[in-house]
Amino acid sequence: MKGRHNRHRAIEQIIQSNRITSQDALLEHLTGMGFSVTQATLSRDLRHLKVRKVSEGPGGYHYTLPGEESRRELEGNYIQDFLRGFVSLEFSANIGVVRTLTGHANSVALALDRLSLTEILGTIAGDDTVLMVLREGVGPGDMKRKLREKFPDLED
């Protein structure tokens, strides 16, 4: 089974290289690349990647990815959301605990999820705490370095 990150990269590659007019056509391409995915999962993936259908006039519609400028703008928004709520970070093995300002945990967790940091398996948000589960083999030092790449002003 191939992971979500790999599937997202494959979807982007397929849409960039082909004129995809339907989810069925996209599913065929993904299946040909060895991915097993349901229609519901594909719909979520397209939403996550901000894929849109654009009109070709009388020729119908096709899928397109957001432009690089739009992607950078979204990433900048997520970075600001993270920094706005971040208080501290601690680790125990492959679990990270992000302390946030009260009421900011959801936006911080969403930012971590949307920034597609492959080192993070998933997040769970409370009111002022985010539980961050790291992938096997990713240590606290690795994660801190990765977070500092995204958030240069990060203090722990």
Cα dihedral 110, 113, 116, 120 in deg (nearest 10): 140
Per-residue pLDDT tens over the stretch 45-83: 999 888 988 877 777 888 988 876 677 777 888 999 999
pLDDT above 90: percentage of residues in the chain: 63
For residues 152 and 103, what is the distance between their CA atoms, to the nearest angstrom? 23
Residue ranges making up the domain that contains 14:
4-64
Q: What is the value of pTM for the model shown?
A: 0.60
Judge whether 31 lies within some domain. Answer: yes
- Do 146 and 89 fall into the same domain? yes
1 pLDDT exceeds 50?
no
- Round to the nearest angstrom and report the end-to-end CA distance of the chain: 36
- Do 74 and 122 fall into the same domain? yes
Judge whether 88 lies within some domain. Answer: yes
Judge whether 115 lies within some domain. Answer: yes
pLDDT at 13: 92
| Domains contained in the chain, number | 2
Judge whether 156 lies within some domain. Answer: no
Name residue 110's amino acid.
L
Cβ distance 120 to 126 under 8 Å? no
